[in-house]
Chain A
Amino acid sequence: AQRVTQPEKLLSVFKGAPVELKCNYSYSGSPELFWYVQYSRQRLQLLLRHISRESIKGFTADLNKGETSFHLKKPFAQEEDSAMYYCASRGSNYKLTFGKGTLLTVNP
Chain B
Amino acid sequence: DTGVSQDPRHKITKRGQNVTFRCDPISEHNRLYWYRQTLGQGPEFLTYFQNEAQLEKSRLLSDRFSAERPKGSFSTLEIQRTEQGDSAMYLCASSLDGDRYFGSGTRLTVV
Which residues in chain A, 79-97, are within 8 Å of chain B measured between CB atoms? 86, 88, 93-97
Contact (A98, B42) CB under 8 Å given A43-B103, A44-B91, A46-B99: yes
Number of interface residues of B (CB under 8 A): 21
Chain A residue contacts of B85, Cβ below 8 A: none
Chain A residue contacts of B62, Cβ below 8 A: none
Interface segment among B16-24, B43-51, B76-84: the answer is B43-51
Pick from A6, A49, A93: contact of B56, CB below 8 A: A93
Chain B residue contacts of A9, Cβ below 8 A: 40
Chain B residue contacts of A97, Cβ below 8 A: 45
Contact (A43, B48) CB under 8 Å given A96-B100, A98-B42, A101-B42: no
Tell me if A73 is interfacial: C-beta within 8 Å of chain B. Answer: no
B→A interface (CB under 8 Å):
3-4, 31, 33, 40-45, 48, 55-56, 91, 99-105
The 9 closest A-B pairs by CB, nearest first: A98-B42, A44-B102, A95-B45, A43-B104, A43-B102, A98-B43, A86-B42, A100-B42, A101-B42
